[in-house]
Amino acid sequence: MASGAQEVDRLGEREVDRLADWSDRIGHYDIDSDYWVQQKVDHPAHLDVVGLDADDNYAQLNARQKLFCDTLLNHFRQSIRGQAPHQLLLHLDSEGGTGKTMAVGIW
């Protein structure tokens, strides 16, 4: 039997999910179409990374950080060229102080 975490990762793929009648869960919530727009206004996310110079910092990145940045850049280039690359899903995780902010700040 799969652990709880493994089961959560499979939500929607399990046979019990596919066979379920989900109709009683659809259309029961009256949410204004501007709800999420208003949420963003009410709770702004300040995601700016300040004090980073992309050109200078790229040279300071280690090989794995450069791979991360190059992967994003290549995907972006394919997108703007109209090549329609597959969706890019990345997970950047590491201990504190290992350069995640610096790698992301290049963008």
pLDDT(100) > 70: yes
**If you average pLDDT over residues 31-52, what whole number do you get?**
75
**If you average pLDDT over residues 2-28, what whole number do you get?**
78
Collect all residues with Cβ–Cβ distance below 8 Å to 41 and sequence separation of at least 6.
none
pLDDT(19) > 60: yes
Model pTM? Answer: 0.46
pLDDT(96) > 80: yes
Q: What is the dihedral of CA 71, 9, 28, 32, to 10 degrees?
A: -20
Contact status, residue 55 vs residue 90, Cβ threshold 8 Å: no
Of 76 and 12, which is predicted with more confidence? 76
**If you average pLDDT over residues 17-23, what whole number do you get?**
86
